[in-house]
Structure 1
Amino acid sequence: MIWIDADACPVKAEAERVATRLSQPISFVSNGGLRPSANPLVSMVYVPEGLDVADRHIAERAGPGDVVVTNDIPLAAKCVAAGARVMRPDGEVLTPANIGNVLATRDLMADLRSADPFRQGGGRPFSKADRSHFLDALDRLVRAALKEAR
């Protein structure tokens, strides 16, 4: 199963394309507002609004053999700990070897932002290269999960 943390995910169409090519079920989890897909491999899961409700839904279900796509680092850490393969929408793969550093960096950046209320701007814009990197990385992760399941 491919799990997509779908709220604000910029690669939903690409993820569906990879899932279809590899004949894998994919579940888009969100608070709503997503257009349903006619693709029989796609399930749309609408959770109630609230802090981290979609994240909890994914974290409680993802495990070995699953691939999770999220930009939420605490969710990624839970899914990695549960044995799922995890990646970000820019194609960065999160593993037991790097999730600790990614979490620490996230926490450090949050502290820096809160210490400087005048700090403006966010990360860099999502690029075509990010989209391409995502497609390649998702394909590799899903294929590896399929091999693992055999």
Structure 2
Amino acid sequence: MLVIYVDADSCAVKDEVLKVASRHDLEAFMVSNQYIRQNMGPKVHKILVAANFDEADNWIEEHINIGDIAITADILLASRCIKKKAIVINPNGKIFDDNNINMKVAMRDLNTHLRETGEISSYNASFSKQDRSRFLETLENTIQKLKRL
């Protein structure tokens, strides 16, 4: 059975996941190391993990299965989920997969090094309406595709 796992601590699309999960009657897990105030549906579970580094990522990796969906912007968690044959969607609606994850990890490592050496400063593009719309479309299309299998 298809399950959605959300790396929820800094996820900008929790409300969208809740709507889509409810519409498709899917079980979802919002995994966080901070309390989430949002009301959840009957099949949506709040999982509060210890505040240790990567604890939410570890929980998701431990529970996710082949064909499940992970929602995360964390490149390393995405890589871990892909190795378990899960589908991984970034909150901006882009899919991480075997074709692009190695390049994403390499770019993440390069940018980390450049920030540490002072060559670049941190910059995260703001989350836009188009990102939210693309995410909804990608999540819906992914679920429809998986239901047809």
With structure 2 as the length reference, what TM-score do the two structures score?
0.93
8 Å contact kept, 1:25–1:42: yes
In structure 2, how many angstroms separate the alpha carbons of the residues matched to 1:75 and 1:145?
21
Distance 2:46 2:124 in 1: 28
1:84-131 Cα shifts (integer Å, max 9, x gaps):
0001100010011111111111111111111117x4441210000000
Residues in 2 aligned to 1:12 and 1:101: alpha-carbon distance in whole angstroms: 27
**Matches of 1:49 and 1:38, distance apart in 2:** 22
Moved >4 Å (runs of 4+): none
Q: Unmatched 5+ residue regions in structure 1?
A: none
Structure 1 counterpart SS, 2:113:
helix
RMSD: 1.3
> For the Cα contact (< 8 Å) 2:115–2:122, is it kept in 1?
no
Counterpart CA distance in 2 for 1:124 and 1:38 is: 28
State the partner residue of 2:73. 71
Supply the AA of the counterpart residue of 1:127: S
Q: Which residues of 2 match residues 16-55 of structure 1 at below 5 A?
A: 16-35=18-37, 37-55=39-57
SS at match of 2:31: strand
Q: 1:29 to 1:129 in 2, by over 3 A?
A: same
Q: Secondary structure at the match of 1:35?
A: coil
- TM-score (normalised: structure 1): 0.92
Q: Which residue of 2 is the match for residue 82 of structure 1?
A: 84
Question: Which residue in 2 is equivalent to 1:135?
Answer: 136
CA contact (8 A) 1:89 1:131 kept: yes
Q: Distance in 1 between matches of 2:144 and 2:47?
A: 24
Work out the CA distance in 2 between the residues paired with 1:38 and 1:8: 17
The answer to whether structure 1 residue 99 and structure 2 residue 139 are counterparts is no
Shift of 1:38: 4.4
Aligned to 2:125: 124
Report the AA paired with residue 71 of structure 1. Answer: A
Number of residues of Structure 1 aligned to a counterpart in Structure 2: 147
Bigger relative contact order, structure 1 or 2 (CA pairs below 8 A, ≥6 apart): 1
One-letter code aligned to 1:124: A
What is the distance in 1 between the residues matched to 2:39 and 2:124? 30
